[in-house]
A and B are shown apart, each in its own frame.
Chain A
């Protein structure tokens, strides 16, 4: 065995729940500059708990931004891919932050908090990139001029009396903790949390990709019906200094219902089964949305270049040879891992971005970039697992879909 301990990057940040995790016996890993729980007991037990009952994750390493102002809606339509102005208050949308070339800088979930207010949740490792892109795009957003006296004076010149930036971006990541309650019993568990009161819509009645306000022991909590595991579930955003109280109340409510704390290792196998791309694996600044099955996020482009950053580039056809993301399934127990070659005969025709022995399905699964002419479901390819060829079949994503 080589030393399995990852070198720890200098001074990773600790979550507000670090002491709670330590008391629960968690193993930690550096994740996007944060020291986060990788597992508490067993990756497999935590994975299965989320599929069968529920798991509780600390995802406080995620970055949060609030975009406010009378122009927040048109600004986000410009700054991010996909329409946000038409998003109803109370709803959320998965979207992308693109560069001018149409490459993916991050994948995001945007929640419309009010007509002029949005919450943007980004990946921990991309906090700076997202902050800089949003701030830069806000700085370039045209200044609104307000005319003295209201309407333009008839027949005369008019004066600009005041200019103000109609949109403002605040990075609130340091103030909030984010917990994820995921699994088929999450709604039942959430309803039983002592001290959690709905102040708007009933959280249990929320539809997927909706959110509601609640309070926990008098502190406002945003209850978001979103997640990253392929199961029903919630994400709960609240002031960081109140996170330990809510964590304990959730654990208490889930006792007897199969809820266990779950770490980032389980989160990774869960999201892979659900075919959800992960930044740094499937997504990067060199990858266009239409290479990874996310064309739906940015619209068809059929009606001309959309008016968002990166839209012009996406309106042009991509390089015909650009690799596309596929699912691959194989038999046995030997999983391909990120970076392993995909072969056809003696040629390398792609490479694996994520792979694991699927705990739910019992066979190896992988996502991989492959040559576009080999991407049709059913295509037979080989995975090169450290020199051993393992036959694999291209399959439609996701690998696992929960029963509704």
Chain B
């Protein structure tokens, strides 16, 4: 089980786990709940460049379509094929088995990323 306080977050409801220059990216439980049952994910191919703040994929639920924004600039080094095969992992395990992609980060993490407390404040769930 991931320690959620160790993650960074974006205002667009992505989470980021940084390990050296590799960032693992997913969407939060809050976003997964709001989307409803995820039935399709479209992720960028391994090797493609992504730009912080730009759309790099799509997450579709039975009801709606969400865009996935790259939280950091770099190169995609892995995508979660298990999620492509079984998109419901985004709902059942958003912070673990439901991760979406790994980025080799070009530059240090942006100061725009939020910590857990700030992110919860944004979703109205702060304690």
Whether A292 sits at the interface, judged by CB under 8 Å, is no
A6–B11 Cα distance when bound, in Å, is: 15
Q: Chain B nearest CB: distance from A302 CB in Å?
A: 42
Residues on A with C-beta less than 8 A from B60 are 333-335, 357
Tell me, in angstroms, the Cα distance from A359 to B63 when the chains sit together.
Answer: 11
Is B58 interfacial (CB-CB < 8 Å)? Answer: yes
Bound complex: CA of A131 vs CA of B122, how far in Å?
41
A1 touching B69, Cβ below 8 Å: yes
> How near does chain A come to B103, taking the closest CB pair, in angstroms?
16
Expressed in whole angstroms, the Cα–Cα distance for A78 and B89 within the complex equals 54
A397 proximal to B (CB < 8 A): no
Q: Is A39 an interface position by the 8 A CB rule? A: yes
B12 A44 Cβ-Cβ under 8 A: no
CB distance from B28 to the nearest CB of A (A): 8
Q: Find out whether the CB atom of A265 lies under 8 angstroms from the CB atom of B65.
A: no
The reply to whether A4 and B62 form a contact with Cβ atoms under 8 Å apart is no
Q: Which B-chain residue is minimally distant from A45 (CB atoms)?
A: B37
8 A–B pairs (Cβ distance < 8 Å), ordered by A: A1-B13, A2-B12, A2-B67, A27-B33, A44-B37, A337-B64, A356-B63, A386-B58
- Which chain B residues in 1-38 approach chain A with CB under 8 Å? 11-14, 27, 31, 33-37
A residues lining the B interface (CB < 8 Å): 1-5, 27, 38-39, 42-44, 47, 265, 268-269, 333-335, 337, 356-357, 359, 386
Are the CB atoms of A4 and B58 closer together than 8 Å? no
Give the residues from 26 to 64 in chain B that come closer than 8 angstroms, CB to CB, to chain A: 27, 31, 33-37, 39-40, 42, 58-64
Task: Give chain B residues whose Cβ lies under 8 Å from the Cβ of A1.
Answer: 12-14, 27, 31, 59, 66-69
Tell me whether A43 and B27 are in contact (CB under 8 A). no
Q: Are A357 and B62 interface neighbours, CB within 8 A?
A: yes
A38 CA / B64 CA spacing, docked (Å)? 13
Q: How far is the CB of A260 from chain B (nearest CB, A)?
A: 14
A3 touches B12 (CB 8 A): yes
Residues of A with C-beta under 8 A to B35: 4
Q: Which residues of B contact A43 (CB under 8 A)?
A: 36-37, 61-63
Please state if B64 and A333 are interface contacts (CB–CB under 8 Å). Answer: no
Check B91 for interface membership: any CB of A closer than 8 A. Answer: yes
Complex formed: what's the CA distance from A5 to B124 in Å?
Answer: 12
Q: How far does the alpha carbon of A5 sit from the alpha carbon of B58 in the complex, in Å?
A: 17
Specify which chain B residues have a CB less than 8 angstroms from the CB of A38 in the assembled complex.
36, 63
In the bound complex, residues from chain A placing their C-beta under 8 Å from that of B66 are 1-2, 4
Bound complex: CA A359 to CA B88 (Å): 13
Contacts of A268 in B (CB 8 A): 63
Number of contact residues on B: which range applies?
20 to 34
Neighbouring A residues of B61 by C-beta, 8 Å: 43
CA A5 – CA B31 in complex, angstroms? 9
Hey, which chain B residues are within 8 Å of A2, CB to CB?
12, 66-67
Please give me the 7 A-B residue pairs with the lowest Cβ-Cβ distance, nearest first: A4-B34, A1-B13, A333-B40, A44-B37, A43-B62, A1-B12, A43-B36
Q: Return B39 CB to nearest CB of chain A, in Å.
A: 5
Name the CB-closest residue of A to B67: A2
Kindly list 13 other residue pairs between chains A and B, CB separation below 8 angstroms, not including A333-B40, A335-B60.
A1-B69, A4-B31, A4-B35, A4-B64, A4-B66, A42-B36, A42-B37, A44-B37, A44-B88, A269-B63, A333-B39, A335-B40, A386-B65
CB distance from B95 to the nearest CB of A (A): 14
In this complex, the member of B27, B35, B60, B88 whose beta carbon has the largest number of chain A beta carbons within 10 angstroms is: B60
Flag if A44 contacts B62 (CB, 8 Å): yes
Tell me how far the C-beta of A362 lies from the nearest C-beta in chain B, rounded to whole angstroms. 10
Query: Which among A2, A47, A356, A386 has the highest number of chain B CB atoms within 10 Å?
Result: A2
Chain A: minimal CB distance from B30 (Å): 9
| Chain A residues whose C-beta falls within 8 Å of the C-beta of B59 in the assembled complex | 1
Chain A residues whose CB sits within 8 angstroms of the CB of B42 once the complex forms: 334
Q: Which of B12, B14, B37, B88 has the most C-beta atoms of chain A within 10 angstroms of its own C-beta?
A: B37
Determine if A337 and B12 form an interchain contact, defined as CB atoms under 8 angstroms apart. no
Is A265 a contact of B36 with CB atoms below 8 Å? yes
Query: Measured between C-beta atoms, what is the minimum distance from A113 to chain B in Å?
Result: 36
Complex alpha-carbon distance, A334 and B59, angstroms: 10
CA A27 – CA B14 in complex, angstroms? 21
Q: How long is the Cα–Cα vector from A359 to B38 in the complex, in angstroms? A: 12
Contact of B40 among A27, A44, A357 (CB under 8 A): A357
Q: Is the CB of A265 within 8 A of B12?
A: no
Q: How far is the CA of A157 from the CA of B39 in the complex (A)?
A: 78
Interface centre among B27, B40, B68, B88 (most CB of A within 10 A): B40
Report the bound CA distance from A292 to B13 in whole Å. Answer: 40
CA distance A64 to B23 in the complex (A): 55
User: Is the beta-carbon distance between A265 and B62 smaller than 8 angstroms?
Assistant: yes
Q: Which residues of B contact A39 (CB under 8 A)?
A: 36
Please report the C-alpha to C-alpha distance between residue A4 and residue B60 in the assembled complex, in whole angstroms: 12
Query: Which residue of chain B has the shortest Cβ distance to A4 in the bound complex?
Result: B34
Q: Name the B residues within 8 Å of A47 (CB-CB).
A: 62
